[in-house]
Amino acid sequence: QLVNGYTLMKYAQQHQLVLPAFNTTDYEMTLAIVQAFNKKQLGGYIQISSHNLKFSNPQIIADMTRSVMEREEVQVPISLHLDHGKSFADVQACIDAGFTSIMVDASQLPYEENIKEVRHACEYAHFFGIPVEAELGGIKGKEDDIVSDVNAKTHPEDVVHFVEATHCDLLAVAVGNVHGLNLAPNLDFDLLHQIAQVSPVPLVLHGGSGIPFDQVRQAKKAQLLKVNYGSDLRQAYIQAFGQAYDANHKEFNLVDVAQAGVDRVVQTAEKIIHEVNEV
């Protein structure tokens, strides 16, 4: 049973947790993420980006996630989240399919248009009781196939107006965090604390891969509720898969090779869950 995003947010606040949000693309990644949460007995997010939904679709991902959770007898709260939702159509399709949390990423648009897009999505999502994450500022780096050169840090003076004008429930910030593994993150804690002081809603950190864990734990004091991890998990899968093939170029047992990838992702996700909250 997928948990509603508001319930998961309350769970994080009640237990004073920063929840990891792991990006999936397919069955193997979903299985590994669910197993890691279950093993560590801690809740969190499974998320998929608009871009990666082109490889499947919202219904396939929602049905599969529910079914994996049922089979794995999950006892911890997990929400299914649309990550970097790029269109209103994606927001609608994901909510209709049973996603329980949504991000609208219109941060590439001018400020007023970002507000308009997020507000529109919030009206729809809130009608169904689903929370919405929005992004203010531009995060540099490579998010799936989308490469962004924009490195516009979030302006603290915009935060209250943006949240009040959009009605968003979570705010993703740009404070020196980057997407992918090609650039070094350099978190600006002064800025993060300035934002946290004024923000009416909890904060989200994108680009978790590559951020030292002690910095993530430090960011916890700045209203941080959710931290996203994509590249670390994908790299773990690809490396294990590749190593299994390297070990035997005649290999044609796909299940064994995929299992090696899944096992490596479980280990990686378990370590992240452990390090982020020291559990």
Nearer to Zn ion, 45 or 237 (CB): 45
Contact by Cβ (8 Å): 90, 82:
yes
- 126: annotated binding-site residue? no
Tell me whether residue 161 is annotated as binding: no
Distance between CA atoms of 220 and 16, rounded to whole angstroms?
Answer: 9
Select from 24-32, 53-61, 145-153, 225-233 the region that touches ligand G3H (CB under 6 A): 225-233
Q: Would residue 144 show up in a list of annotated catalytic residues for this protein?
A: no
Q: Are 209 and 177 in contact (CB under 8 A)?
A: no
In three-state secondary structure terms, 26 is: coil
Helix (H) or strand (E) holding 198: helix 189-198
Task: Give the β-pairing of 170-173 and 178-179.
Answer: unpaired
Least distance in angstroms from the C-beta of 263 to Zn ion: 26
CB of 208 to ligand G3H, least distance (A): 5
Q: Buried (b) or exposed (e) across 25-36, using 16+ Cβ within 10 A?
A: bbbbbbbbbbbb
Cβ atoms of 114 and 136 within 8 Å: the answer is yes
**CA 206 distance to own-chain centroid:** 7
Least distance from ligand G3H to the Cβ atom of residue 207, Å: 4
Inter-residue contact 228 to 83 (CB < 8 Å): yes
Select 65 or 228, whichever has its Cβ closest to ligand G3H: 228
Taking CB under 6 A as the rule, does residue 228 contact ligand G3H?
Answer: yes
Q: Has 120 been labeled as part of a binding site?
A: no
- Which positions from 197 through 216 interact with ligand G3H, judged by CB under 6 A? 206-209
Binding partner selected for residue 77 from Zn ion, ligand G3H, none, CB under the kind-specific 5 to 8 Å limit: none
Is 206 a binder of Zn ion (CB under 5 A)?
yes
Q: Report residue 179: phi and psi, to 5°.
A: -90, 145
Indicate the residue among 143 and 169 with the shorter CB distance to ligand G3H: 143
51 annotated among ligand-binding-site residues? no
CB closer to ligand G3H out of 43 and 207: 207
**15 carries a ligand binding annotation:** no
Rounded to whole angstroms, the Cα distance separating 51 from 32 reads: 21
44 binds ligand G3H (CB under 6 A): no
* Amino acid identity at 56: S
Binding site for ligand G3H (CB under 6 A): 23, 83-84, 143, 179-180, 206-209, 228-232
- Residues annotated in the binding site for Zn(2+), as ranges? 84, 105, 135, 179, 206
Active site residues: 83
